Amino acid sequence: MSKKEKLLIRFLAKPCPKDFSWAELEILMRHFNYNELSGSGSRRKFIHPGTKHIISLHKRHPDDTLLEYQIKGVKESLEQQGII
């Protein structure tokens, strides 16, 4: 099993992981062909170049772990697109 497959399994785990980092999300989103764009301040967008689908998030700082609602939002968005 590849590292990305393990990362996806961890991302999809229930309950949501409490230590899923922003760097791990970036790896996962690149795996799904999303590009990251920086917005104003801590706003970040992941955009799929083919579908133009946008996932907008706030990158926490100094702690870069994702909160449960952020993970659930990304999961729902990717499910709606039929990616996961």
- The pLDDT value recorded for residue 36 is 96
Please state, in angstroms and rounded to a whole number, the distance separating the CA atoms of residues 53 and 5: 22
Q: Which fold has domain 3-80?
A: Metal Transport, Frataxin; Chain A (3.30.920)
Please state, in angstroms and rounded to a whole number, the distance separating the CA atoms of residues 45 and 10: 22
pTM over 0.75: yes
Please state, in angstroms and rounded to a whole number, the distance separating the CA atoms of residues 50 and 54: 11
At 47, list the tokens: 């955009």
- The pLDDT value recorded for residue 39 is 78
Owner of token pair 């999300």: 25
19-71 confidence digits (pLDDT tens): 999 999 999 999 999 999 987 889 999 999 999 999 999 999 889 999 999 99
